[in-house]
């Protein structure tokens, strides 16, 4: 007999959605025999998708986040069903669930990084239309998921993420771009040039006062690229550096100057050094002095017969500085004398001594800012 409530007409045996949720959420996968857990999980995920209740779905996520109860293979094969259940949740709960999965994807998805692409696509779509609060939850998850992509998916993944950058909150965008840059070395060799170009364009869209920070991070990645891609990457980054203000150039130029040894061919080092020198003489005397000091230290990576000509070119540019700005570059050049061919060292020392005397003419005692010139 199917007894029914007189007022509602519903079966008195029918459970309310809340009651169903509480009962289903209380089921532990460990309570099933190991061979039955896949079938039980599949059934629970189907019910979770139909109910769309956060406590039920999040409870399943917590159970899948524990290594052991469900074999990785079963987790991986049923992951699409979990994602389907997550997408039935209300907006706020959906964002939190996606973040939780992103943070523990390798465990929840059974060690299958190929699921990162589906997760990235879902998180990007969610973040684009989310309110401000949910964006702050979802975009860090997007960056984390991007770092989990298999090599072959990285360029497409980067394109997907960058295409939605206009929706990223202003305060979050710089950190997000920097996070993406840190994964550049993980691109396949064939995609590294395109990835570098795309990221430099993204940095160019950042507020002017923080572009230097982004370029500094890119500069650190260049030596980690495939050896055949480094020369072009150096050139790309130098061109981007030349487009920002002088004070912001110092740190990214310093990174590149200290990494010249990452270029395997001496001719590539010389070409890159010359490009750096061109950038180093574009701005104010104070900024130029910082750049020239960096390049003086970079002479260690320039082999003869190229080193002497670069030494002379640096010294000429130092001579154009006001006397109070010459001390730092000259001291750095003095430290590089031994990098010259033996036959050129005497001439190098003489040139530095002359520059030092020129400074002493305007700085009593042969000192500038209290420091001995040579």
Q: Tokens 């869209």 appear where?
A: 205
Based on the number of CB atoms within 10 Å of its own CB, is 70 exposed (0-12), middle (13-18) or buried (19 or more)? buried
- The torsion angles phi and psi of 369, rounded to 5 degrees, stand at 55, 35
- Per-residue model confidence as pLDDT tens digits over 105-116: 999 998 888 899
Judge whether residue 373 has pLDDT over 70: no
Q: Average pLDDT in the 163-168 region? A: 92
Whether 4 has a pLDDT exceeding 70, the answer reads no
Q: What is the pLDDT of residue 371?
A: 42
Contacts of 53 (CB under 8 A, 6+ apart): 17, 21, 25, 89
Outline where the chain has alpha helix (H).
Answer: 17-25, 37-51, 54-64, 72-86, 91-103, 105-108, 115-129, 132-148, 154-163, 173-181, 189-204, 211-221, 227-241, 246-257, 266-279, 285-298, 307-319, 327-334, 342-362
Question: Does residue 57 carry a pLDDT above 80?
Answer: yes
pLDDT digits (tens, 9 = 90+) for 81-90: 999 999 999 9
Q: Are 269 and 301 in contact (CB under 8 A)?
A: yes
Task: Give the separation between CA 235 and CA 231, rounded to whole angstroms.
Answer: 6
At 200-250, the pLDDT tens digits run 999 999 999 899 999 999 999 999 999 999 999 999 999 999 999 878 888
Q: Domain residue spans in the chain?
A: 12-161
Q: Say whether pLDDT at 2 is over 70.
A: no
β-bridge partners, 367 = 372
| Residue 134: predicted pLDDT | 94
pLDDT of 112-145, one tens digit each?
A: 888 999 999 999 999 999 999 999 999 999 999 9
C-alpha count within 13 angstroms, C-beta hemisphere, residue 301 = 24
Summarize the confidence of residues 7-24 as an average pLDDT. Answer: 65
Question: Which is more confident, 209 or 281?
Answer: 209
Residue 285, pLDDT score: 61
Mention every residue, 6+ apart, whose C-beta is less than 8 A from residue 328.
Answer: 289, 290, 293
C-alpha angle 198-191-156 in degrees, rounded to nearest 5: 65
């Amino acid at each position: 007999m199917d007894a029914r409530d007189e007022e509602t007409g519903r079966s008195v045996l029918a459970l309310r959605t809340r009651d169903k949720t509480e009962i289903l959420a209380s089921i532990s996968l460990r309570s099933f025999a190991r061979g039955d857990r896949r079938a039980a999980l599949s059934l629970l995920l189907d019910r979770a998708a139909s109910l769309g209740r956060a406590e039920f779905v999040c409870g399943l996520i917590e159970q899948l986040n524990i290594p052991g109860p469900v074999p990785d293979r079963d987790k991986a094969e049923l992951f699409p069903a979990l994602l389907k259940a997550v997408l039935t949740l209300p907006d706020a709960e959906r964002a939190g669930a996606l973040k939780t999965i992103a943070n523990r994807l390798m465990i929840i998805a059974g060690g299958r990084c190929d699921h990162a692409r589906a997760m990235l696509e879902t998180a990007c779509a969610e973040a684009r239309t989310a309110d401000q609060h949910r964006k702050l939850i979802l975009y860090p998850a997007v960056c984390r998921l991007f770092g989990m992509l298999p090599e072959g998916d990285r360029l497409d993944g980067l394109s997907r993420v960058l295409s939605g950058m206009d929706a990223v909150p202003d305060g979050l965008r710089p950190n997000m771009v920097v996070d993406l840059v840190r994964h550049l070395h993980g691109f396949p060799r064939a995609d590294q040039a395109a990835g570098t170009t795309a990221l430099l364009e993204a940095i160019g869209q950042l507020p002017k006062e923080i572009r230097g920070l982004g370029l500094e991070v890119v500069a650190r990645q260049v030596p980690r690229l495939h050896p055949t891609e480094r020369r072009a990457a150096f050139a790309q980054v130098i061109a981007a550096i030349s487009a920002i203000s002088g004070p912001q150039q110092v740190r990214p130029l310093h990174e590149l100057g200290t990494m010249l040894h990452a270029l395997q061919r001496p001719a590539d080092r010389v070409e890159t050094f010359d490009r750096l020198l061109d950038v180093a003489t574009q701005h104010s005397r104070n900024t130029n002095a910082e750049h020239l000091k960096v390049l003086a230290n970079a002479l260690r990576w320039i082999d003869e017969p190229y080193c002497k000509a670069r030494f002379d070119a640096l010294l000429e540019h130092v001579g154009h500085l006001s006397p109070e700005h010459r001390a730092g570059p000259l001291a750095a050049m003095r430290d590089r004398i031994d990098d010259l061919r033996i036959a050129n060292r005497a001439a190098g020392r003489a040139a530095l001594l002359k520059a030092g005397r020129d400074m002493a003419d305007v700085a009593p005692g042969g000192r500038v800012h209290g420091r001995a010139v040579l």
